Chain A
C-alpha cells in the first residue's frame, strides 16, 4: 500500500475510531481483551482496506469488519474460557471514570448487563440501534432484510422495557 493510501486510512480510522471503541466495549469486559480485540479489528481493517470500494459508505464497511472480528473473537474466547471476569469488575474502569453520579453509573451498569446478556448477533443489532443507525444501514451491515430489522428492533424495545 502506498504512503498516501496509508495516510488516508490512518485519517479515516482516526475519524471513526469511536466505532472500534464501541464495538470493543460491546463485546469485551476485560481490559486485556479490549486491547487485543481493538488491535485485531484495526489489523483486519488495514488488511481489508485495499478492497474497500470508496463509492460505498465507509462506516458501513467499518461496522461490518469490526462486528465480524468481534463476534468471532467473543466466540473463540468463550471456547477458550478466557477472562471470565465478574461483570462489574470488568466495567469498573469505565463506569467509575469521571462518573457523573451514582445514578449515571448505575444506568451504565444496567446497560452493560443488558448488552452482555444478549447473543452476539443480537448484541450487534442492539449496538447499531443504540447508535441510531437507519434500518437500511443495519440491514446492510447485518445482512438481513429491513423488515426483519424492524421486527427485531420492536422485540428488542419490548425486552428493554421488560428487563430494565
Chain B
C-alpha cells in the first residue's frame, strides 16, 4: 500500500468514527470529573503516607536526642541509624511528590513521557529505601523505644541484638549476593527473575521506557 492509499484509508476511518457515536465525551460536563480516577492520585497519597512514616522516624529519633547526651553508645548509634532512615524515606517521598507536581500533560509528549518514566523510577527506588532497611530496622526501633524508657536493650538482652544481626545482615548480604550472582552467572532469565523479585519488574520497565524515549528523541 502506498502512503497516499494509507491516508485515504485513514480518512475513511475518520468518517466511520464520526458515524460511530458510542464514545462518550460528556464526562466533563458534570461533577464526576472531580471524582474521576487519575492514575497519579493513589501514588500521590501513597507518597504522602510514606513521608509521614519517615517523619515519624525522625520524630522518634528526636525524642531520643531530647533526653540529653547521657545515653549508652549502642542507643546513640542505633538512634542515628533510625534518624538517617527517617530522613532518607522523607527525602525520597518528597522527591517523588515533587516529580508528581511537575507533571503537566500540556507539555510536549517526549518531555512528559520522560517525566512519567522518571517518576516511576523514583517511586520504585523510594519503596526500596523504605523497605530494605527493615532487615535490621525492626530491632533498631525496639532499642530506641527501650532507650526512650531509660533502658538499654543491648545490655539487658544482648541475645536479641545477636539474633537480629544474625538474621538481618545475612538477609541483606544474601539479597545483594543473589542479585549479583544471578547477573554474572550467564543466566539471563534468572537474572531477570531475581531483579524483578527485588525491585519489581516496574523498575526495569521504567528504565526501558526511558531508554525508548531517549532513542526516539535522538535517533
Contacts and interface: CB of A to CB of B under 8 A. Distances in A.
Answer whether A and B are interacting partners.
yes
Nearest to B213: A121
A107 B107 CA distance: 34
Q: For chain A, what secondary structure do more than half of its interface residues adopt (helix, strand, loop), or is it mixed?
A: helix
Given A13-B28, A43-B27, A43-B28, A119 B10 contact: no
A38 B39 CA distance: 15
Interface residues of A, number: 65
A11 interface: no
B23 A34 contact: yes
Contacts of A52: 106
Interface in A143-164: 143-144, 148, 157, 160-161, 164
B108 A51 contact: no
Given A107-B9, A143-B110, A160-B1, A18 B14 contact: yes
Interface in A1-55: 6, 9-10, 13, 17-18, 20-22, 24-25, 31, 34-35, 38-40, 42-48, 51-52
A39 to B, nearest CB: 5
Interface of B: 1-3, 5-10, 12-14, 16-20, 22-29, 33, 36-39, 104-113, 116, 202, 205, 209, 212-213, 216-217
Interface of A: 6, 9-10, 13, 17-18, 20-22, 24-25, 31, 34-35, 38-40, 42-48, 51-52, 61, 64-65, 67-69, 71-72, 75-76, 79, 93-94, 97-98, 100, 104, 107-108, 110-111, 114, 119, 121-122, 124, 130-132, 140-144, 148, 157, 160-161, 164
